[in-house]
Amino acid sequence: MLSFSSSTGEKPGLRVTLSVALPAGLKLLGVVQPKSITAKDSAGTDLTKIEKSFHGDLQFLEKDQFSSFDDDDKKAAPAKLTLILAIPSRDAKTFSATCEAGILIGGPLKAIPIAPAKDWTALTAPELAGIGSRYKLTSKGGETTLEFENETAKSVIEDVTITTGGRATKSSGWMSMNGALSYTIEAPMAADSKVALNVHTGVRTAPLKIDLKDVKLP
């Protein structure tokens, strides 16, 4: 089920917010860009002529970076996507858009232990087979950084936990740069420290079809 609201975003163009209702226990992890897309306003303007992303590709869909859970009652809230289109004509009153894309969804979290490797090491757990990235840990000044060679890990891993002397510390955030990914854990590594990746189970891609007709422009 999709609902939408239209608004002009910070970048030039039209941004359409879509809410995707997922079955209980599932979470939206990412998006698969459309294989095909058509979008025009009522004046005939082609709305697929958007600017390229930082990586040089066309990104018509974005996943909301915030949590898809309500912090007050812990109930699952509709996941949100943004459809990004070009600037409509001033003379246009409505727009229509159709595309076939995909969403990456996953189930409950499972803690997967990994070795506290200081050098680049392959991920061997079956749940991590699709990531295709090595990792390493660096501890300095009371803080530990877990690095991955590519960003694919973010689509499966929710966060990272270091447990030392029975005390568990979760990662405080992550950063993506130049195709690599890193998590920051505000705790040092010790001889008895154990590291675990909190991974979404049952990760799969589901088809997503968007079909908007004669939507009133803001």
CB 85, CB 45: distance < 8 Å: no
Of residues 157 and 53, more confidence is placed in 157
Rounded Cα distance between 201 and 206, Å, is 15
Record the pTM. Answer: 0.72
pLDDT band (50, 70, 90) for residue 77: low
Q: Which of 50, 49, 43, 46 has the alpha carbon at shortest distance from 93?
A: 43
- 8 and 102 fall within a common domain: yes
Q: Domain limits at 183? A: 109-200
Q: Are residues 20 and 101 in the same domain?
A: yes
87-102 pLDDT, tens digit per residue, is 999 999 999 999 999 9
Q: Are residues 72 and 120 in the same domain?
A: no
Find where tokens 């749940």 sit.
Answer: 127
pLDDT (0 to 100) of residue 80: 87
194 and 208, same domain (yes or no): no
